[in-house]
Amino acid sequence: MILLFRLLIFVFILFLVYTAIKYILSPKRKLELAHEHKKYFFLDDHQDIRKNFLLTYKGALFEGEKYLGTTDEAFEVVSIFIWPKSTAALQGLERKDFLYIQSEITRNYPNAVIDWKSPVKEFLKE
């Protein structure tokens, strides 16, 4: 009976350690932490084209939608639409910030044409 109780305690401790490690390494948690500290973080699943990516920069959270198409060599992401989750968070961002975001996305998807949705689209046209 005591041996069974010790085994259950050991399994419970292993479960707690596993849960803690999984929480610490969670990409979603890293995104939230970068958002709080107003840093850059790009959360994307490159294997799943249908899954949108999230990006945070200077306290603003953006979502991007990827579209698959053909290039000369293969099927790749050829179009990306990006929009802010909250337009109020855009306060203080400048044109160079949006160009930086575009360059970071281009690093991950070199063949993609990046289109912004309102109000960033109108801001970049000026």
**Residue-range domain boundaries for the chain:** 35-125
**CA–CA distance from 89 to each of 38, 47, 85 (Å)?**
11, 29, 8
The per-residue pLDDT for range 3-34, each reduced to its tens digit, is 888 999 999 999 999 999 999 888 899 988 99
**pTM greater than 0.85:** no
Strands (E), the chain: 41-43, 53-57, 60-70, 75-84, 113-116
90 — pLDDT class (breaks 50, 70, 90): confident
In the chain, the N- to C-terminal Cα span, in Å, equals 76
- Give the other-Cβ count within 10 Å of 23's Cβ: 10
**CA–CA distance from 85 to each of 5, 12, 47, 78 (Å)?**
50, 39, 23, 22
Spatial distance between the Cα atoms of 27 and 55, rounded to a whole number of angstroms: 12
